[in-house]
Structure 1
Amino acid sequence: MTFIAADLEASTRFYTAALKPLGVVGEAADGGAEFWEEDLDTPSFGLYPANGATVTQGAHIAFTARDQASVDAFHEAALAAGGTSRYEPRVWPEYGAYCAFVNDPDGNNVEAVYKLQ
């Protein structure tokens, strides 16, 4: 999945910090940034500058967490990196999961989810 960012630098800072507790790493690539699970070799999420294209807004993307503490750390890191909270970490019985939701710098809904079942 690729998001087009209004401010690539701000979005890269946000995702680098927010995704680190989830074991997702990234680096600059081809004028943007790519992120992947540290144990895998294939990028699964990319950020690129708008350069006249429409900025991605209102999208929802979810990343798997290894445990509840990782969800908590994601939420804390995302807020410290300029995100805003949509929902603080908690159990969502209807999903059978412990989740947190934040807005990225462009207003996209970014979720960390740990399945309880």
Structure 2
Amino acid sequence: MLHHLSLGVADIERAAAFYDAVFAPLGYARVWTDLRPGEPNQAVGYGVAGGGDQLALKFRPDGQRPPGPGFHVAFAAPSQQAVSDFHRAALQHGGRDNGAPGLRAHYGPNYYAAFVVDPDGHNLEAVFNAAV
């Protein structure tokens, strides 16, 4: 259904470093970059290497707030280990814990996820949902 999603960020270079780190374990990469320090409308895009973007980060220094309670973005992970590595990378790069890696049986018998808040306040999840 979705082609891509964009999130506003206050510091594009900090956000790009954060997402570079958290996406690596999930198998996603920066697929395009439009960084021009000091200029408006900077952005970076992420997706599967060699493909188009599915998430774009857009520089919005005007104090744009992230969406409110109930909104989060969940990223597919290739394994439980990738979920744990996502969580660890997020905490090492300025993210906040919002739910340690583990099974979430109330979502399903194989639903393994971790939750973080990025440096701009966006709620993120990495999830692996398959029998091990």
Normalized against structure 1, the TM-score is what?
A: 0.90
SS state at 1:100 partner: strand
In the aligned structure 2, how far is the partner of 1:115 from the partner of 1:5?
29
**3-state SS in 1 of match to 2:15:** helix
SS of equivalent residue, structure 2 residue 83:
helix
Residues 37-78 of structure 1: CA deviation (Å, up to 9, x unaligned): 22x512100001115473434441110000100001000111
Verify: 1:89 aligned to 2:101, yes or no: yes
More strand by share: 1
Q: What RMSD, in angstroms, separates the aligned Cα atoms of the two structures?
A: 1.7
Q: CA deviation at 1:24?
A: 0.7
Work out whether 1:20 is the aligned partner of 2:32: no
Q: CA deviation at 1:28?
A: 1.4
Kindly state the Cα deviation for residue 19 of structure 1 after the two structures are TM-superposed.
0.9
- Shift of the 65–79 alpha-carbon distance from structure 1 to 2, 3 Å rule, reads same
* Cα distance between partner residues in 2 of 1:29 and 1:106: 19
What is the CA–CA distance in structure 2 between the aligned matches of 1:75 and 1:105, rounded to whole Å? 13
* Identical-residue share of aligned pairs (%): 34
Sort the Cα spacing of 1:55 and 1:95 in 2 relative to 1 into closer, same or farther, 3 A: same
Alpha-carbon separation, structure 2, partners of 1:98 and 1:6: 31
Aligned to 1:34: 45
Unaligned runs of 5+ in 1: none
- The answer to whether the 8 Å contact 1:35/1:44 transfers is yes
The answer to whether 1:4 aligns with 2:14 is no
Does 1:104 pair with 2:114? no
* 2:52 aligned counterpart, secondary structure: coil
Q: How does the TM-score come out when normalised to structure 2?
A: 0.80
Query: How many pairs does the alignment contain?
Result: 116
**Does 2:129 correspond to 1:115?**
yes
What stretches of structure 2 of length at least 5 have no aligned partner?
36-41
How far apart are 1:94 and its partner, in Å?
1.7
